[in-house]
Amino acid sequence: MEKLVKLQAELKAPKNQRNNFGKYNYRSCEDILEAVKPLLSKHGLILNITDDIKELSGLVYVESTATIYDAKKPEDQVVSKAQAGIDPNRKGMDIAQCFGSSSSYSRKYALNGLLLIDDTKDSDATNNHDKTITKGIHLTLGDENWDKVLTYVVQNKDLGIRKIIDNLSLKYNVTPMIKKEISKALKS
């Protein structure tokens, strides 16, 4: 879906929240939604997020599903899912807070997958000691970004390898080795 690729390339979801105890910044589900809403309107896309409460071997968890689709072609859609456990005995929280906290966490990661948001620090943005500037987020086989790329490749294989690599190059540093791995993924 070309509109989604454009939205992903334009999306800037800053880490506006601060964890003073851990001394790090982070983005919440609400931060992502605030950043993506104007782009949804601009590109004629609709985003829907739902939660399902599930249980597996005695573990209760929430599964969030983020679906984005073209307003003019609702059948043209991309889906991402994420899960988070629910601990009803968590200290300092009542049951509603436990469910709400797990829902927010799960929704955030479903959105991260759908919108290709990298939740790690981009060392290229903060480290310029060697004066070499690399365009895009670095990809390493097997890391979280690589998993996102593989999901995108599989879901968009009908675009063809050139278009897929062009689209991914808007956000990632697609090296010759990565191109080779994408080609292998398309053939499998």
Closest-CA residue to 81 (of 120, 49, 117, 37): 49
Instruction: pLDDT band for 181, please (50, 70, 90 cuts).
Output: confident
The two structure tokens encoding residue 169: 């190059």
pLDDT at 119: 64
Contact 30, 36 (CB under 8 A): no
Task: Examine the pLDDT at 124 and tell me if it is beyond 50.
Answer: no
When mean pLDDT is compared over 66-75, 92-101, 150-159, the highest value belongs to 66-75
d(CA 100, CA 30): 13
CA angle 40, 143, 78 (to 5 degrees): 30
Task: Examine the pLDDT at 99 and tell me if it is beyond 70.
Answer: yes
Higher pLDDT, 181 or 9: 9
Segment 154-160 shows an average pLDDT of: 81
Higher pLDDT, 23 or 40: 40
Task: Examine the pLDDT at 134 and tell me if it is beyond 60.
Answer: no
